Amino acid sequence: MTTITLEAVPDGVPAPYVSVAVDDHPEASARCTVWRTHGGRSFRVRGLVKVSTAGLVSGLDTEAPFAESSYRVEYFDESGIFLEWSETEEVTLSGLEPGWAWMHDPFDPATSLKVRFEWSTAAEIMRSTPSDRVRQPSRSVGIAFAGTRSGVEGLVLDVWTPSFADADRLDAMLGLYDVPGPSILCVRTNRQMRIPATLFAEVPKSLYRPYGARRGSEHGDWSMAVDEVAPPVEAVIRALLDYADFEAYYTDAGGDYAAFTAAYADYAQAQVDYSIAGYADA
- Whether 26 has a pLDDT exceeding 80, the answer reads yes
pLDDT value at position 270? Answer: 64
* pLDDT tens column, 68-98: 999 999 999 999 999 999 999 999 999 999 9
What was the pLDDT predicted at 268?
A: 55
Distance CA 20, CA 150 (A): 31
Give me the pLDDT at residue 137, please. Answer: 85
| Model pLDDT, residue 255 | 62
Task: Note the pLDDT tens digit of each residue in 187-214.
Answer: 999 988 999 999 999 999 999 999 888 8
CA-only gyration radius of the chain, Å: 22
Residues in CB range of 194: below 8 A, 6 or more apart: 122, 125
pLDDT for 67 equals: 96
107-130: pLDDT as tens digits: 999 999 999 999 999 999 999 999
Q: What is the pLDDT of residue 262?
A: 66
pLDDT at 164: 94
pLDDT recorded at residue 191 = 85
Cα separations in angstroms, 267 against 55, 125, 272: 10, 47, 9
Task: Check residue 139 and give its pLDDT.
Answer: 85
Beta strands in 140-197 (DSSP E): 143-146, 155-161, 184-189
7 SS3 class: strand
Give exposure, 99-108, as e/b (b: 16+ Cβ within 10 Å).
ebbbbbbbbb
Cα 26 from Cα 10, distance rounded (Å): 32
Q: How far apart are CA 228 and CA 104, in angstroms?
A: 15
Neighbours of 134 (CB within 10 A): 9
**Spatial distance between the Cα atoms of 9 and 17, rounded to a whole number of angstroms:** 5
pLDDT digits (tens, 9 = 90+) for 219-260: 999 999 999 999 998 877 766 566 666 667 667 666 666 666
Q: Count how many residues are written for the chain.
A: 282
Q: What is the pLDDT of residue 135?
A: 87
Q: Are 108 and 175 in contact (CB under 8 A)?
A: no
Give yes or no for residue 269 having a pLDDT over 60: no
Quick one: pLDDT at residue 52?
95
Q: What is the mean pLDDT of residues 24-38?
A: 97
Are 157 and 120 a contacting pair, CB within 8 Å?
A: no
First to last CA, the chain: 40
Residue 228's SS3 state is strand
Please give the Cα distance from 206 to 249 (Å, whole number). Answer: 39
Q: Quick one: pLDDT band at residue 216, thresholds 50, 70, 90?
A: confident
Q: Which pLDDT band, with edges at 50, 70 and 90, does 142 fall under?
A: confident
Q: Can you list the positions of beta strands (E) in 16-81? A: 17-23, 31-38, 41-44, 51-52, 57-61, 68-76
